[in-house]
Structure 1
Amino acid sequence: MPLLEIRNLVVEFDTAAGPFRALDGVDYTVDAGEVLAIVGESGSGKSVAMLAVMGLLPDTATITADRMAFEGRDLATLSPKDRRQVIGKDISMIFQEPIASLNPCFTVGFQIGEVLKTHTRLSGSERAARVIELLKAVGIPEPERRLSSFPHQMSGGQCQRVMIAMAIACSPKLLIADEPTTALDVTIQKQILDLLLKLQAESGMGLIMITHDMGVVAETADRVVVQYQGRQMEEADVLSLFESPKHPYTKALLSALPENATGDRLPTVGDFRALFETAPKEATA
């Protein structure tokens, strides 16, 4: 049984111009210990899909799916109380832009501690010790001193590590990382990716990596889902995807990588909407 199984997920938003379909029948599965990458350009619905899983989309969104299950439990039919026990504890998410995701009015120690207070029965002193342990685990120097730091007093890379600490505080079975290296320099990007893979390997949790960076996909993923404008173009194991992509959109993404350039200019990805009626999922492997 997959850790997470989603079948035919559709998300529509009510807008002033009428309904807007952000996701149109996508499928995802991820097993314990597996790294699934969801890749596609901005606006392809990668984050929307995972926010639907987390129950964090606004009231203007209409979500339907043939199946949306975690460990066999239907997330769509869970009561709000039961869902809160799963979200943040068994399923956790690292959001984009850590500076914007952390509350500027509270210390990082307090914010990590709030996760533990919500989902565990640890005492105050036990929570403080666990927060220090988590900060050490994600590579924050002088964690005892950093307990009282505010987000604006830390670098972007350190704030991203704090977000990771919050996400793994309760030892989740599934971790969703939404563009975890956005706005970080190359050196810090490598450190964050290495940290996520180390934590994933040590705990055996499932990891979903949302990204538009094919280099990140190559370094981290076991399996890849390629999305374009809310639809699933291709699904394959990472080696097959890079060696023999089947969908024209996937081929275009790979051809636009600098290392695949054959002339003075990189090719553009282009517009693939004309393929929607003929090959939305036929190329999946």
Structure 2
Amino acid sequence: MPLLAIKNLSVSFLTSTGPFMAVNGIDITVDAREVLAIVGESGSGKSVSMLAVMGLLPDSATVKADSMVFDGIDLLRLEPKERRRIIGRDVAMIFQEPMASLNPCFTVGFQIEEVLRVHMNMDRSQRRKRAIELLTAVGIPDPADRLKSYPHQMSGGQCQRVMIAIAIACNPKLLIADEPTTALDVTIQKQILDLLVGLQQEHGMGMIMITHNMGVVAETADRVVVQYKGRKMEEADVLSLFENPQSNYTKALLAALPENATGDRLPTVGDYQMEVEDSTAVKTPPLEAPL
């Protein structure tokens, strides 16, 4: 049985111009100890799909699915209080922007210990000891001193490591990493990816890696789901995807890699006939005029 199995997930938002379908009937599964990459351009519904799993979408969102089963439990059938016991403990997420996700008003130590207080029922000394262990595990130097630091006193790479520490604090069964190397320089990107894969293998977690970077997919994933305009275009193991892509959109993504350039210019997505035609595609509502 998969660790997570989502069937026919759709997410729509109510806008001033009517409903906007951000995710349109996708299926996703991930096994324990497996790394699943969800890849696609910005706006393809990758993050929205996983925020639906976490229950973190705004009230303007309508989430529908035949089932959303995690570790044998259908999350859609749980009361909010029951679901909150699972989210953050057994299912954790690393968000795109660490500086926007960490609270600037509280120290790093407080924010790590808060997760332990809510989900692990630890006393103060246990929480502090565990927080130091977590910062050590993610490669933060002088972890005991860093507990007293505020997010603005740390670099972007260090804040990302703190976010990872918070996510793995309760030893989750499933870790969702949403563009975990965004806005980091290349050397830090490599360190963060190596850290995530090492933690995933050490703890036997299932991991979902959300990215638009095919290089990250090649380095980290066992299996890949390709999304385009809210729909799943293709699913394959990572080797098959790179050697024999089936959808035109996947071919376009791979052709746009610099190492695959064959002429004076890289091809664009527009050079390919996409499988989602205009008549059925998810349409982005027009921007509203400023007041």
**1:99 — aligned with what?**
99
Distance, in Å, in 1 between the alignment partners of 2:22 and 2:6 is 16
Q: Please state how far the C-alpha of 1:267 moved relative to its aligned partner.
A: 1.1
Distance, in Å, in 1 between the alignment partners of 2:272 and 2:108 is 44
Distance, in Å, in 2 between the alignment partners of 1:120 and 1:56 is 21
Describe the SS at the equivalent of 2:180.
Answer: coil
Cα contact 2:252–2:272 (8 A) shared by 1: no
Give, as a single letter, the amino acid of the residue that structure 2 aligns with 1:203: H
Give, as a single letter, the amino acid of the residue that structure 2 aligns with 1:160: Q
Give, as a single letter, the amino acid of the residue that structure 2 aligns with 1:139: G
Q: Please state how far the C-alpha of 1:275 moved relative to its aligned partner.
A: 2.1
Give, as a single letter, the amino acid of the residue that structure 2 aligns with 1:115: V
Q: Please state how far the C-alpha of 1:70 moved relative to its aligned partner.
A: 0.3
| Residues 95-149 of structure 1: CA deviation (Å, up to 9, x unaligned) | 0110111000000000000000000121100000000000000000000110000
Equivalenced residues, count: 279
Distance, in Å, in 2 between the alignment partners of 1:44 and 1:117 is 36
Describe the SS at the equivalent of 1:245.
Answer: coil
Distance, in Å, in 1 between the alignment partners of 2:224 and 2:72 is 22
Task: Structure 1: state its 5+ residue gaps.
Answer: 281-285
**1:168 — aligned with what?**
168
Give, as a single letter, the amino acid of the residue that structure 2 aligns with 1:128: R
Cα 1:76/1:271, change in 2 over 3 Å: farther
Describe the SS at the equivalent of 1:207.
Answer: strand
Distance, in Å, in 2 between the alignment partners of 1:74 and 1:277 is 33
Shift >3 Å, 4+ stretches: 271-274
Distance, in Å, in 2 between the alignment partners of 1:41 and 1:86 is 30
Give, as a single letter, the amino acid of the residue that structure 2 aligns with 1:113: E
**1:256 — aligned with what?**
256
| Residues 69-91 of structure 1: CA deviation (Å, up to 9, x unaligned) | 10111101101111010000000
Q: Write the mapping of 1:244-283 to structure 2, written as runs, cut at 5 A.
A: 244-270=244-270, 275-276=275-276
**2:30 — aligned with what?**
30
Q: Which moved further from structure 2: 133-142 or 58-67?
A: 58-67
Cα 1:269/1:277, change in 2 over 3 Å: closer
Give the % identical residues.
Answer: 75
Distance, in Å, in 1 between the alignment partners of 2:111 and 2:271 is 43
Distance, in Å, in 2 between the alignment partners of 1:201 and 1:274 is 36
Give, as a single letter, the amino acid of the residue that structure 2 aligns with 1:111: Q
Describe the SS at the equivalent of 1:14.
Answer: strand
Q: Please state how far the C-alpha of 1:22 moved relative to its aligned partner.
A: 0.3
| Residues 52-84 of structure 1: CA deviation (Å, up to 9, x unaligned) | 000000111111111111011110110111101
**1:283 — aligned with what?**
none
Give, as a single letter, the amino acid of the residue that structure 2 aligns with 1:114: E
Describe the SS at the equivalent of 1:28.
Answer: strand
Distance, in Å, in 2 between the alignment partners of 1:14 and 1:277 is 23
Q: Write the mapping of 1:185-204 to structure 2, written as runs, cut at 5 A.
A: 185-204=185-204
Q: Write the mapping of 1:1-285 to structure 2, written as runs, cut at 5 A.
A: 1-270=1-270, 275-276=275-276
**2:284 — aligned with what?**
none
Distance, in Å, in 2 between the alignment partners of 1:33 and 1:155 is 30
TM-score, normalization: structure 2?
A: 0.94
Distance, in Å, in 2 between the alignment partners of 1:273 and 1:99 is 39
Give, as a single letter, the amino acid of the residue that structure 2 aligns with 1:164: I
Distance, in Å, in 2 between the alignment partners of 1:136 and 1:194 is 15
Cα contact 2:13–2:61 (8 A) shared by 1: yes
Cα 1:7/1:255, change in 2 over 3 Å: same
| Residues 177-236 of structure 1: CA deviation (Å, up to 9, x unaligned) | 000000000000000000000000000000000000000000000000000010000000
Distance, in Å, in 2 between the alignment partners of 1:96 and 1:273 is 30
